[in-house]
Amino acid sequence: MTVRAGILGATGAVGQRLIQLLEPHPDFEITALTASGDSAGKTYREAAKWRINIPIPETVAEMTVRETAPDDVPDDLDIIFSSLPSSVGERVEPGFCEAGYVVSSNSSNARADDDVPLTIPEVNADHIDLLEVQRDERGWDGALVKNPNCSTITMVPPLAALDDAFGLDRITVSTLQAVSGAGYSGVTSMEIIDNAIPHIGGEEKKMETESRKLLGSFDGAEVQWHDARVDASCNRIPTLDGHLENVWTDTTEDATVTAAAEALREYPTLDLPSSPDQLVHVYEEPDRPQPRLDRDKENGMAIAAGGIQATDDGLQFNCLAHNTMRGAAGASILNGELLLERGYI
């Protein structure tokens, strides 16, 4: 079965990664692209300032970019991947779901809503069945599924592994985030070259809330958020792609470095088409992972971890993920693959 896929916000940083990953995908076929009114009516080649180091796929280059509205996309799309600015997503995504479309979205709107699954398939695939609650409550024929923020995705799989092994009482994280995380018009070169910015608007709150929902448990009716305290400090640095994070955890049970490394290495992956063979790669070298060296591991879909140390109250470690691949486009596609596997599309 070929699954007909549309992309909302197809010209942006995440939209381009969606095209890169969907064009060779075994199940999904790109059949519609949308963007803002400035791009609508142009061919994709004319509308998009393509910034990925492969050519624009020929199957996409001459497609006409559409307006971002349910009436402007084909009726027979099986799934829509959304990479719109969150203010736009908040305005238009519910209309697509009401019109019967299944939307797998990157935008931050609605991630904390009680009836919206926020999923990283390897960590909390069971939360996807929150869609039954969503359909009952909202009366939608379609559905809305979210992936978390890129900085949250980077740390949550290692944290899930450590939570399973030792229990987590407290999580503290400081990030070093790449400029592509802000989208193409997010940070100017005058702001970021020879600089670091110790503030990313709203990012800290997203990491603190989303990680507790992701690590929570679902009883078939609602998600009980994890009760660990989470504190985040977010920093923008002049790397292009790849978020590096320093994480401290207070563990419930005593943890050793060896047992922690084993828990991370052995944390299970899935058999979905975009799943990495190994979810968390653990480095022994104290100066790894590094963005330039380690962000592309397993087509940018693996998480890298290292620098594991025991502390008085638990563990300290570093982790890294490619923010527009694992942290955004790849995350939405994995959710799409999960929706397909579970019969929601």
Ligand X SMILES: NC(=O)c1ccc[n+]([C@@H]2O[C@H](COP(=O)([O-])OP(=O)(O)OC[C@H]3O[C@@H](n4cnc5c(N)ncnc54)[C@H](OP(=O)(O)O)[C@@H]3O)[C@@H](O)[C@H]2O)c1
Q: Which of these is catalytic: 127, 243, 281, 322?
A: 243
Active site residue 150: yes
- Which position among 13, 192, 214, 334 is part of the footprint of ligand X (CB under 6 A)? 13
Write phi, then psi, for 103 (nearest 5 degrees): -115, 125
Residues 194-253 that bind ligand X (CB under 6 A): none
Residue number with CB closer to ligand X (74 or 286)? 74
CB of 73 to ligand X, least distance (A): 12
Within 260-299, the residues that bind ligand X by CB under 6 A are: none
Q: Hunting for tokens 């969907």 — which residue is that?
A: 22
- 38 in contact with ligand X (CB under 6 A): yes
70 binds ligand X (CB under 6 A): no
Which of 150, 226, 234, 319 is the catalytic position? 150
Crossing angle of helices 13-22 and 330-341, in 10° steps, is: 50
Stretch that binds ligand X, among 229-237, 248-256, 286-294, 323-331 (CB under 6 A): 323-331
Which of 3, 22, 32, 84 forms a contact with ligand X (CB under 6 A)? 84
| Rounded least distance, CB 262 to ligand X, Å | 30
| Residue in 168, 261, 328, 339 binding ligand X, rule: CB under 6 A | 328
Query: Which of 20, 209, 318, 323 touches ligand X by CB under 6 A?
Result: 323
- Cα 19 from Cα 7, distance rounded (Å): 8
List helix spans (H) across the chain.
Answer: 13-22, 44-47, 58-61, 86-98, 121-124, 130-138, 150-166, 189-192, 203-214, 257-265, 291-294, 297-300, 330-341
Minimum CB distance to ligand X, residue 149 (Å): 6
Antiparallel, parallel or unpaired: β 243-251 and 314-321: antiparallel
Tokens of 7: 């992309």
Give me the count of residues in the chain.
Answer: 345
Q: Which of 25, 43, 70, 85 binds ligand X (CB under 6 A)?
A: 85
- Residue 10 or residue 144: which is nearer to ligand X going by CB? 10
Residue type at 343 in one-letter notation: G
Contacts 24+ apart (CB under 8 A), 261-270: 261/308, 263/161, 263/162, 263/164, 263/165, 263/166, 264/158, 264/161, 264/162, 264/305, 264/308, 266/161, 267/122, 267/157, 267/158, 267/160, 267/161, 267/164, 268/122, 269/122, 270/121, 270/122, 270/125
CA distances from 251 to 111, 173, 304, 312 (A): 27, 15, 21, 10
Catalytic (active site) residue 243: yes
Positions in 87-146 near ligand X (CB under 6 A): 88, 106-108
Binding mask 151-190 for ligand X (x = CB under 6 A): -----------------------------xx-xxx-----
**Interface residue with ligand X, options 6, 15, 142, 157 (CB under 6 A):** 15
Among 21, 73, 79, 150, binds ligand X (CB under 6 A): 150
List of residues contacting ligand X (CB under 6 A) = 9-15, 35-36, 38-39, 68, 83-86, 88, 106-108, 149-150, 180-181, 183-185, 323-324, 327-328
**Would you please indicate which residues are annotated as catalytic (active-site) residues?**
150, 243
